[in-house]
Structure 1
């Protein structure tokens, strides 16, 4: 069941109060799950139970996404703004350097948390930030098209499309290699989350000039990429490995950009192996 927590965040202009919605399950060493742009914490549903068998799992709606309100005034949606918010969230939830698993935007954030030594291990699934200018433009065009579709399609139409294989492919084929494995109700909820994401535009704007440029030292890192990722081509994983040479680079056969739904068992195994 989703819970909400409000907590103080220190900023140069003084403390601010951030609010985050999360779900928590399991026991053991803490593990935090971070979704991609426009998504919500329920995107982790296929793997949460597998991870919770060994970990205290906290799936988060990032600020401005899902049911979490936007960031308070004075805090930006770039890494400089978001990382202190998550650090404060960890403290508020009593999470002592959790393992972190992130997808896309969440993968980028996970790597930065690792760079700053705020986590025990990092599993980054198709992380953003390793693109060429042309690849970034392509990804932004796809994301904007998905957002426009979510805004313009009435929810009954989305529900009708989600009940057919062709409709599911049209709705989310750009990010899932196997959209038929996502339930109609989940796709309706995802479309609603994308439509209502107050942090979408600010997050896109913050990433326009972003190229990830840090090594991640003294923290176990796995970078995993789906072989059928249509949003961020898997060659970006090779660039990530060159920048973070100590990382383990893993292929996710048959998986798209959001692999948790395409192959839950494989994604869970990769994350658990990294945490171990």
Structure 2
């Protein structure tokens, strides 16, 4: 397996647990490993499938010079689901993964959707440029003297500061996990092409007027990356049936901030759908 700066790259996907299938989709520059704090809480209820996205560390490669977009990322997620024999899973995604979950919803693929601070909502190029600049600054900082960065991240206060734009409680990330997140970031070959694609293709514009499955959009109260007022409100206009939920005390990437809250936010939706399906199949 190829190595990144401090350890082996993440495998292309994680699968564990028993129950109805649940797909977990990570954000831009991440891998499935960002879901590690939450997966043990979901495994008793679901067959958890967490793929790493196309062009991300350990995920499928895309052709150099070839086009990559949110739609091609969604195509690749569907390819993975077809390969593992999953038809209509529950889908939970964060940031770019949340956008992808809505893209899959527009295709009618999920049984339910839980989107945590989904990307894909903006109204001006300046808003998109702000987020792109924030991501690229983190990418460049991680590539400068990486050994020094790794040494600094051993300190909880440094992790709190280092992850401040994406998490409210970065100090809760164990040092070893912080090193993995750094590896995943610097090994993402698709970062700039995806940012270029968002500028070219525009925000999410899927038609979710007539979906019959539940969609929950959960936004971190302390999201500094894409605050709800500027990025969430425009997105929800395309998702009129969505239930909106504010998550207290968490940032843009909430899985380390509060794993229990994230898991419960998912299980409330998936559990209701699965119980209804059981009643429908067994009859009164």
TM over 0.5: yes
Q: Which runs of 5+ in 1 are unaligned?
A: 1-19
Counterpart check, 1:190 vs 2:184: no
* From 71, 75, 87, the counterpart of 2:78: 87
* 1:31-50 equivalences in 2 (<5 Å): 31-50=22-41
The CA deviation at 1:51 is 1.1
Q: Who is 1:231 aligned against? A: 225
Conserved? CA contact 2:173–2:256, under 8 Å: yes
Instruction: Specify which of 197, 205, 222 is matched with residue 206 of structure 1.
Output: 197
| Cα drift, residue 75 of structure 1 | 6.0
Q: How does 1:10-25 map to 2 (within 5 A)?
A: 21-25=12-16
Q: For residues 62-100 of structure 1, what are the alpha-carbon distances to aligned partners after superposition, in whole Å with 9 as ceiling and x for unaligned?
A: 111121142246963213322222212111101121111
Shift in Å, 1:132: 2.9
Quote the Cα distance in structure 2 between the aligned partners of 1:196 and 1:74.
Answer: 17
CA displacement, residues 110-142 of structure 1 (integer Å, 9 cap, x when unaligned): 101011001111111111111232221111111
Aligned length: 256
Cα-Cα RMSD: 1.6
TM-score, structure 2 length as denominator?
Answer: 0.86
Cα pair 1:117 1:219 within 8 Å, conserved? no
Structure 1 residue 221 corresponds to structure 2 residue 212: no
Higher strand share: 1
Mark the runs of 5 or more structure 2 residues left unpaired by the alignment.
Answer: 1-10, 273-284
Residues of 2 paired with 1:163 and 1:84: CA distance? 38
- SS of the residue corresponding to residue 38 of structure 1 reads coil
User: What does residue 144 of structure 1 align with?
Assistant: 136
Quick check: 1:126–1:232 contact (8 Å CA) kept in 2?
yes
CA pair 239-23 structure 1, distance change in 2 beyond 3 A: same
Task: Please give the residue correspondences for 1:118-267 in structure 2 after superposition, counting only pairs within 5 Å.
Answer: 118-133=109-124, 134-154=126-146, 156-209=147-200, 210-216=202-208, 217-235=211-229, 236-267=231-262
**Bigger Cα displacement from structure 2, 190-199 vs 62-71:** 62-71
